[in-house]
């Protein structure tokens, strides 16, 4: 997460701490509709630290000119993956009176990123020299109320090649979602990366459960954290996350995990170590092509 300051050093320190642990990292774009340093600055710092950046861009904050400029700039600074997002509602952020751009919707941003890769063209139709060739991804909230898989299908139709899910704590509910999307051939069209996040306190898990759309925390985990000390809660949260990752490794059609530290990269490293995900393959050992199997 780029900081709320003009100093890149906190992000640089986070990135250096993940070298050798992560194949790629997400660089967020004004998360929770709150102002932060530009994700392009974060991309530059992350790439310099030796990690492969995935730039997140929301359609909430930019019109098509600004989105195009940032797509070109992020590629020049080292981003090779693009995660296309609508963005959280402005009402939940620190500028609730701001006006959303919403010039393009998220599927149009996906098409723009894909057209740069496949045809070297802008939305205007103009061809450009040295076009970005992003690996384009989309987000999905499998456990959101009234979930509609058609929305995910529309994103894949627009060119999405990988899917990053909302944070998951309920494996059985996720497996039920996977059964639904399997019948529609979605895992064959795009690599599915499941979001996981180790919990550090009862307060944190209740906030995620109550306020983060699409997050559902099973009652036994809530009960195990309620009344626990800080050290006990962190141990429980880490163990739960490691167990979830180990079980996900055995699930067909899951391509990987997006480990979210919630501001604490040491928690990410601990999960990766204990889930036996080391050593990571070097970039040269990972095949890259135009299909979803490249990640």
190, 162 contact by CB (below 8 A): yes
pLDDT at 290: 41
Say how far apart CA 228 and CA 100 lie, in whole Å: 41
pLDDT at 213: 83
236, 199 contact by CB (below 8 A): yes
pLDDT at 294: 36
Percent of the chain residues topping a pLDDT of 70: 96
Percent of the chain residues topping a pLDDT of 90: 85
pLDDT at 95: 93
Per-residue CA distances from 74 to 35, 83, 180, 188 (Å): 19, 12, 35, 29
241-259: average pLDDT:
97
128-148: average pLDDT:
95
165, 212 contact by CB (below 8 A): no
4, 42 contact by CB (below 8 A): no
Query: Which token pair is 238?
Result: 């880490």
85-106: average pLDDT:
92
Element spanning 273, H or E? helix 265-274
Query: Which token pair is 196?
Result: 């996981």
166, 137 contact by CB (below 8 A): no
pLDDT at 89: 87
Query: Which token pair is 252?
Result: 């067909």
129-145: average pLDDT:
96
Say how far apart CA 148 and CA 78 lie, in whole Å: 34
With 90 as the cut, is the pLDDT of residue 287 above it? no
User: Tens of pLDDT along 67-81?
Assistant: 999 999 999 999 999
105-132: average pLDDT:
95
87, 39 contact by CB (below 8 A): no
Q: Is 114 helix (H, G, I), strand (E, B) or coil?
A: helix
pTM: 0.92
With 80 as the cut, is the pLDDT of residue 120 above it? yes
168, 142 contact by CB (below 8 A): yes
pLDDT at 288: 42
Q: How confident is the model at residue 92 (pLDDT cuts 50, 70, 90)?
A: confident
pLDDT at 283: 67
pLDDT at 285: 66
Query: Which token pair is 24?
Result: 């790629």
pLDDT at 295: 35
Say how far apart CA 233 and CA 6 lie, in whole Å: 34
262-277: average pLDDT:
92
3-31: average pLDDT:
94
With 50 as the cut, is the pLDDT of residue 293 above it? no
């Amino acid at each position: 997460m780029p900081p709320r300051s003009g100093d890149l050093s906190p992000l640089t320190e986070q990135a250096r701490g993940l070298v050798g642990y992560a194949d790629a990292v997400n660089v967020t774009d004004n998360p929770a509709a709150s102002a932060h340093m530009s994700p392009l600055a974060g991309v530059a710092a992350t790439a310099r630290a030796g990690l492969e950046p995935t730039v997140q861009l929301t359609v909430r904050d930019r019109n098509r000119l600004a989105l195009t400029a940032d797509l070109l700039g992020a590629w020049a600074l080292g981003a090779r993956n693009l995660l296309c997002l609508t963005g959280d509602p402005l009402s939940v952020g620190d500028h609730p009176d701001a006006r959303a751009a919403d010039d393009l919707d998220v599927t149009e941003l996906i098409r723009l990123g894909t057209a740069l890769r496949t045809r070297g063209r802008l939305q205007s139709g103009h061809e450009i020299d040295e076009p970005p060739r992003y690996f384009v991804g989309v987000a999905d909230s499998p456990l959101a109320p009234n979930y509609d898989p058609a929305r995910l299908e529309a994103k894949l139709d627009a060119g999405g090649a990988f899917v990053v899910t909302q944070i998951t704590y309920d494996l059985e509910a996720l497996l039920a979602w996977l059964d639904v999307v399997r019948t529609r051939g979605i895992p064959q069209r795009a690599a599915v990366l499941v979001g996981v996040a180790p919990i550090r306190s009862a307060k944190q898990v209740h906030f995620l459960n109550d306020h983060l759309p699409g997050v559902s925390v099973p009652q036994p985990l809530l009960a195990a954290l309620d009344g626990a000390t800080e050290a006990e809660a962190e141990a429980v949260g880490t163990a739960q996350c490691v167990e979830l990752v180990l079980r996900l490794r055995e699930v067909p059609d899951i391509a990987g995990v997006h480990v979210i530290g919630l501001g604490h990269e040491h928690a990410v490293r601990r999960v990766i170590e204990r889930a036996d995900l080391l050593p990571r393959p070097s970039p040269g050992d990972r095949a890259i092509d135009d299909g979803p199997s490249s990640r």
